[in-house]
Amino acid sequence: MLFTEEWLRQYVNPQLSTDELAETLTMAGLEVEEVTSVAPAFTGVVVAEVLTCRDHENSDHLHVCEVNAGTGEVLQIVCGAPNVRAGIKVACATIGAVLPGDFKIKKSKLRGVVSMGMLCSARELGTSEDHNGIWILPDDAPIGMSIREYAHLDDARIEIKLTPNRGDALSVVGVARDLHAVTGAPLTLPSMEAVAPTCECRLPVKVEAPDLCGRFTGRVIRGLNAKAETPQWMRDRLERAGLRHISALVDISNYVMLEQGRPTHFFDMAKLIADHLTVRWARKGEKLTLLNETTVDLDPYYGVVCDGDKPSCIAGIMGGEESSISEETTDLFIEAAFWHQTAIQGRCRRLNFSTDAAYRFERGVDFGTNAEHMEYITRLVLEICGTDATRVGPVDDQIVNLPERKPVTMRVARCLKVVGMDIPVEAMHNTFTRLGFQYTFDGEAFTVQAPTHRFDIEIEEDLIEEVARLYGYEKLSDRPPLARIAMKSPKEATRNAHTLRREMAVLGYQELINFSFVPEAWEKDFAGNEEPIRLLNPIASQLSVMRTQLIGGLVDILKYNLNRKAERVRVFELGRVFFPDPAVLDGPWSVKGVRQPSHIAGLAYGTANDVQWSVEARRVDFYDVKGDVERLVAPLKARFVKETFPGLHPGRSAAIYIGEKRVGFIGELHPKVVHDYDLPHAPIVFEVEVDPLLMLSLPKYTPVSKFQPMRRDIAVVVPADFEVQKLFDVVSEGQLADARLGALTSFELFDLYRPKTEDGANEKSLAFSVELNAFGEEALNDLEADGTMRALVEVLERAGARLRG
């Protein structure tokens, strides 16, 4: 919200400096982001009158002017502006003036003619971007007066940042109300005196959607002069609030929106075909060309105001091109409707543009002053664009479905407990009185009826906040907590999620934090999920669903880095994913129907190692990332079982198990996904549930053998598609079931060989290194070692392997 200090002080003028005013607004909850001057520093520029103007003899574009700047003598000034002429008032920089950018005005000669100053444009003085010519002032501008004083260029431009619940402060009057409540300075609001109708001109309006429009106020005005000039004071206020001048009627509408917080819409009655307007929800297949020349495909998500039954504008957002006003408009229909917040929220995001009107309706516009604001805007239209032939119809005010505002109770004791400070009851009375709240007090509690412009007053805590901010947040005492502090040691059999983050960082991965809402295509590509949880009001149209996987975000960041010439990327994310689950109930950390487990996912791309002279460069592969996963889950033991997953290469992916529970997956991206996402090579990715990794077994003491270990090798033959993990599993089970394997301390694969057989058998040979040792008082002898090896062969044969000859 942007406005000028002069505009605000017209309604409430506390005895505060500009800095004090900004601080007061900030401490009242209307955070002032920036205070800037309307114009940059300059000196020596005054109001002057051009007495004569003739063409320069030695130039085809310069003019020689005689100027009265109030100095007692006529100044000769050479000017090149195309709009300079005799009889106009201008901004004149006299000799010695210093313009923005430290540009000093001196006596000079232009094409042989002496120039005793400079006639300035608005852009040269830093007041606007208009550089079509010199700045022409109104005829009543006093000659010789400083232009800074005349045009209020020492005024301050104030920008405030509002929280979404304070839609009432999206107007100068709204800010003035709050400043009055905080400082107690008198509040003077614009007159809303009724304008008597001079004809019975009406345009009937049918409201068919009460859930869209709660109140519709309209008025017909005929015989206007739309070519009239917007008053300079109004143009200045609009431009300094960030809105450009368009035409008198548009400027009036914008001015009332900024001043009163009331968005309105003007229809050119000559362009309306039907004899009535209809307010309804749009129908699928309808189209509308808007004022910004965008053609929108409508559907029942949007509300529309129709010319008869043909959509003419999108309710609360933007008008249509066909019924728009212009300088040729003479007959006008003014609409000042109240659109329900829920009927406007989210629509602009889907349209991919926003408007000032929609921004206000989304946050709530006062539904109790439609008729008064209609009288106010009527008076402005008549004062600026009225003619002798102007006729004004009566106000047509239809109240259809207004929000129900229930009284809110605030207990004094509760207020003191929440704020933590003794606030006098008298201060609470003053708060509600200054804010214009109607209330009763029974000695223990206030029962408050909030005004129609305050949509944020719904519960007791809202009233407590009003009391605290008007009493003064700065009065809250700084008291340190007095509770005893005791350090709690973590359970030995657990670890926290941050431990996993540290381990990933040690492995060379960088952490990402992505949005939990993602494009729907990611869910289909990386999770095979056709029915993700959809957002009712996404922050961006493409971020429309909740994620069930983290891989999409990692791939997106990979593309971002590849586009910036990164060659080796290691990234990970630890965050929540979201699954529909009817069994989940509402709770402090849960949402009904949604399961939200934490996952950790990683992506590796590029070379396996940083470039160095002693290691040959090679691309990262499945086994590199498999090793990273094993490091991540340690001291837990991960098993990898061949499985296929959406988005992964079917022959280069596996499920990750901890014990008998499948906790995640690992693999190379599917070639189709790699192609669709424009990746030069396939990265290796993994994703694992976090909770199973946090529970550890307690450390157990294992004695160290005092004897030297005995090492032997064993080679077995298995079918080519046989999974080696099965052999490791049966050996681990055999150690528990067969005492003869008690001496086995290590069983590791060290070689893989695929022999070429004459009979064409498709087999492979696996060679294992076996380590044996004794933990008693005597060393392991050859006889015992041979028995252990025989038992090991039996276990392997039962699993489908045979000893290699």
Residue 2 is encoded by which pair of tokens? 């942007």
Between CA 510 and CA 556 the distance in angstroms is 14
Report pLDDT for 523. Answer: 92
Q: Is the pLDDT of residue 479 over 80?
A: no
Report pLDDT for 741. Answer: 83
**Which residues make beta-bridge pairs with 219?**
334
- Evaluate whether 367 touches 334 at the Cβ level (below 8 Å): no
Give the whole-number percent of the chain exceeding pLDDT 90: 64
Q: Give the model confidence (pLDDT) of 78-128 as tens digits.
A: 998 889 999 999 999 999 999 998 899 998 888 888 999 999 998 888 887
Residue 340 is encoded by which pair of tokens? 């329900």
CA angle 556, 557, 562 (to 5 degrees): 100
Q: Give the model confidence (pLDDT) of 544-561 as tens digits.
A: 899 999 999 999 999 999
Report pLDDT for 758. Answer: 64
Report pLDDT for 713. Answer: 92
Nearest of 364, 404, 393, 453 to residue 164 by alpha carbon = 364
Q: pLDDT category, 759, cuts 50, 70, 90?
A: low
Q: Is the pLDDT of residue 413 over 60?
A: yes
* Mean pLDDT on 457-472: 93
Between CA 59 and CA 297 the distance in angstroms is 56
Alpha carbons within 13 A on the beta-carbon side of 540: 8
* Mean pLDDT on 561-569: 92
Q: Give the model confidence (pLDDT) of 318-340 as tens digits.
A: 999 999 999 999 999 999 999 99
Distance of CA 723 to the CA centre of its chain: 50
Q: Is the pLDDT of residue 482 over 80?
A: no
Classify strands 265-268 and 332-339 as parallel, antiparallel or unpaired: antiparallel
Between CA 734 and CA 488 the distance in angstroms is 42
Q: Give the model confidence (pLDDT) of 656-691 as tens digits.
A: 999 889 999 999 999 999 999 999 999 999 999 999
- Evaluate whether 639 touches 666 at the Cβ level (below 8 Å): no
Residue burial 222-255, b: 16+ Cβ < 10 Å; e: rest: bbbebebebbeebbbbbbbbebebebbbbbbbbb
- Evaluate whether 196 touches 369 at the Cβ level (below 8 Å): no
Report pLDDT for 761. Answer: 65
Report pLDDT for 487. Answer: 82
- What 8-state DSSP symbol labels residue 58? T
Between CA 286 and CA 300 the distance in angstroms is 10
- Evaluate whether 569 touches 604 at the Cβ level (below 8 Å): yes
Between CA 674 and CA 662 the distance in angstroms is 26
- Evaluate whether 350 touches 301 at the Cβ level (below 8 Å): yes
**Residue linked to tokens 């067969």:** 738
Segments in 87-199 forming alpha helices (H):
147-150, 172-183
Between CA 83 and CA 65 the distance in angstroms is 12
Alpha carbons within 13 A on the beta-carbon side of 298: 22
Between CA 426 and CA 214 the distance in angstroms is 37
- Evaluate whether 307 touches 279 at the Cβ level (below 8 Å): no
Segments in 151-276 forming alpha helices (H):
172-183, 232-240, 248-260
Q: Is the pLDDT of residue 642 over 70?
A: yes
Mean pLDDT over each residue of the chain, to the nearest integer: 91
Residue burial 145-155, b: 16+ Cβ < 10 Å; e: rest: eebbebbbbeb
Q: Is the pLDDT of residue 399 over 90?
A: yes
* Mean pLDDT on 720-736: 85
Cβ atoms within 10 Å, residue 263: 24
* Mean pLDDT on 15-35: 92
Report pLDDT for 539. Answer: 82
Report pLDDT for 620. Answer: 92
Exposure of 281 by Cβ count < 10 A (0-12 exposed, 13-18 middle, 19+ buried)?
A: middle
Q: Is the pLDDT of residue 760 over 60?
A: no
Alpha carbons within 13 A on the beta-carbon side of 591: 9
Report pLDDT for 690. Answer: 94
More confident residue, 375 or 476: 375
CA angle 55, 60, 62 (to 5 degrees): 55
**Residue linked to tokens 């495909």:** 297
Nearest of 196, 239, 203, 243 to residue 219 by alpha carbon = 203
Report pLDDT for 497. Answer: 92
Give the whole-number percent of the chain exceeding pLDDT 70: 99
